[in-house]
């Protein structure tokens, strides 16, 4: 005999009514609160349309920079590039839709990843090895990763085909040593370069999908000059000689980049690097093996952190918010949110992302 059989009929009715009431309340709560809202992490699978991650930009514009261009539907190429002083200035940065810079060794050397959609620079380099955390960032942009070898952590991931890649060193994933070249007069390992036209050909030879499916970042119109900041200086305190400063120019509404105390230019064309938007993400870094570190930016391999503080610089002003990336998926989108939990709206133009460790100097000094 079970306990339910000895309960009175009236009590049974009360129990049944109570259970039904709880189920109704739970269902109503799900309908009201269970839907994903702005600020909730949603996995970005670039190979299918996901609710909440439909294309953000309209018209024939880059989903990253928001600028109109003939290549707007082309899949991004994410190219690993060196920060070493021996090869500065690097080639190709002025043509990138986005550049991401973060520590390759904790509190020390940085490395950069330039993402190209709109423009085809004649040459990119110095191309260096990739690390596992850059793979997570490139996959979240639906990019083809271009690199010269990598750490063994990265190699294990690339060999599992987590991301489409071109390894110009011929070590991991899709081995493509024919797609790059060693430049004379530059000592290795900093002498790896590639012609962008060859990278396009190599990606086609690999039968990679060439249509871009990244949902993109939202944009807003530039402020009129009278409403922009008057000027200012932004200090991003990587260890010297990797330290970066940006000087805001009101007329061009851009941030003139200085690297290690020298004006930063593009070796291809001599242009001063001057992004329209600068993002500073705060994320911790720690050494995990010898020279190899891990930056906590929401990758599935080592990370326990998937969000942090973010600072945005555009129109001559500073804004605060949060970055988020779902660490359950390599291909999750890196989200940028403002202080109200809405996706940050950039102004059309290049976005330069600096990933700074806690405790490293970040200082914005506006001109009053």
> Which position has the higher pLDDT, 46 or 109?
109
Query: What is the rounded distance in angstroms from the CA atom of residue 252 to the CA atom of residue 231?
Result: 11
Q: Locate tokens 């990679």: which residue?
A: 208
User: 156 vs 47, which has greater pLDDT?
Assistant: 156
User: Average of pLDDT values for 75-84?
Assistant: 97
Question: Residues 9-36: pLDDT tens digits?
Answer: 444 444 444 444 434 334 444 433 333 3
Answer whether residue 150 shows pLDDT above 50: yes
Tens of pLDDT along 283-302?
999 999 999 999 999 999 99
Of the candidates 100, 114, 63, 65, the one whose C-alpha atom is nearest the C-alpha of residue 348 is 65
22: CB partners within 8 A, 6+ apart: none
CA dihedral 112, 349, 284, 332 (to 10 degrees): -90
With 60 as the cut, is the pLDDT of residue 49 above it?
A: no
pTM of structure: 0.85
pLDDT at 58 (0 to 100): 76
Confidence of residue 317 (pLDDT cuts 50, 70, 90): very high
Q: In a 10 Å sphere around its CB, with 0-12 CB exposed, 13-18 middle and 19+ buried, how is residue 45 labelled?
A: middle
What is the model's pLDDT at position 129? 97
**For 63, what's the count of Cα atoms within 13 Å in the CB-facing half-sphere?**
20
> According to the model, what pLDDT value does residue 127 have?
98
| Residues in contact with 90: Cβ distance below 8 Å, sequence separation at least 6, in sequence order | 81, 82, 112, 125, 126, 266, 267
Do β-strands 285-289 and 277-282 pair in parallel, antiparallel, or remain unpaired? unpaired
Spatial neighbors of 261 by CB under 8 A, at least 6 apart, are 241, 243
Instruction: Please tell me the predicted confidence (pLDDT) of residue 59.
Output: 84
Determine phi and psi for 230, rounding to 5 degrees.
-75, -25
The neighbouring-strand residues paired with 166 are 146
CA angle 298, 343, 226 (to 5 degrees): 130
Work out the percent of the chain whose per-residue pLDDT is above 90: 82
Q: Is 26 exposed, middle or buried (0-12, 13-18, 19+ CB in 10 A)?
A: exposed
| pLDDT mean across residues, the chain | 88
pLDDT exceeds cutoff 90 at 264: yes
Judged against a pLDDT cut of 90, whether residue 225 lies above it is answered with yes
Does the structure show a pLDDT above 80 at 45?
A: no
Q: Is the pLDDT of residue 113 over 60?
A: yes
Rg (CA), the chain: 24
Strand 285-289 and strand 292-295: the pairing is antiparallel
């Amino acid at each position: 005999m079970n306990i339910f059989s000895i309960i009175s009929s009236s009590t049974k009715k009360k129990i049944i009514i109570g259970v039904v009431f709880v189920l109704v309340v739970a269902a109503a709560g799900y309908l009201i609160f269970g839907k994903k809202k702005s600020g909730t992490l949603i996995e970005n699978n670039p190979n299918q349309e996901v609710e909440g991650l439909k294309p953000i930009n309209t018209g024939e514009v880059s989903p990253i920079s928001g600028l109109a261009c003939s290549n707007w539907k082309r899949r991004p190429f994410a190219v690993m590039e060196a920060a070493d002083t021996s090869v500065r200035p690097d080639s190709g940065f002025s043509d990138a839709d986005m550049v991401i810079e973060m520590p390759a060794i904790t509190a020390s050397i940085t490395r950069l990843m330039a993402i190209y959609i709109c423009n085809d620079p004649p040459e990119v380099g110095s191309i260096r090895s990739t690390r596992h955390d850059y793979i997570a960032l490139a996959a979240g942009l639906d990019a083809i990763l271009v690199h010269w070898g990598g750490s063994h952590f990265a190699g294990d991931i690339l060999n599992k085909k987590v991301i489409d890649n071109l390894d110009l060193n011929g070590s991991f994933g899709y081995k493509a040593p024919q797609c790059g070249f060693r430049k004379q007069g530059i000592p290795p390992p900093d002498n790896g370069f590639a012609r962008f036209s060859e990278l396009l050909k190599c990606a086609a030879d690999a039968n990679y999908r060439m249509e871009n499916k990244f949902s993109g970042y939202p944009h807003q119109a530039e402020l009129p000059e009278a409403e922009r900041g008057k000027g200012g200086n932004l200090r991003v305190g990587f260890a010297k000689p990797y330290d970066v400063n940006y000087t805001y120019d009101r007329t061009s509404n851009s941030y003139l980049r200085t690297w290690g105390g020298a004006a930063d230019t593009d070796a291809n064309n001599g242009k001063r690097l001057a992004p329209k938007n600068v993002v500073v993400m705060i994320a911790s870094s720690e050494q995990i093996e010898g020279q190899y570190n891990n930056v906590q930016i929401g990758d599935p391999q080592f990370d326990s952190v998937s969000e942090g503080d973010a600072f945005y610089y555009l129109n001559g002003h500073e804004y605060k918010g949060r970055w988020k990336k779902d660490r359950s998926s390599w291909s999750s989108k890196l989200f940028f949110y403002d202080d109200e939990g809405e996706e940050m709206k950039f102004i059309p133009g290049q976005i330069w992302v600096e990933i700074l460790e806690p405790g490293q100097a970040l200082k914005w000094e506006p001109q009053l």
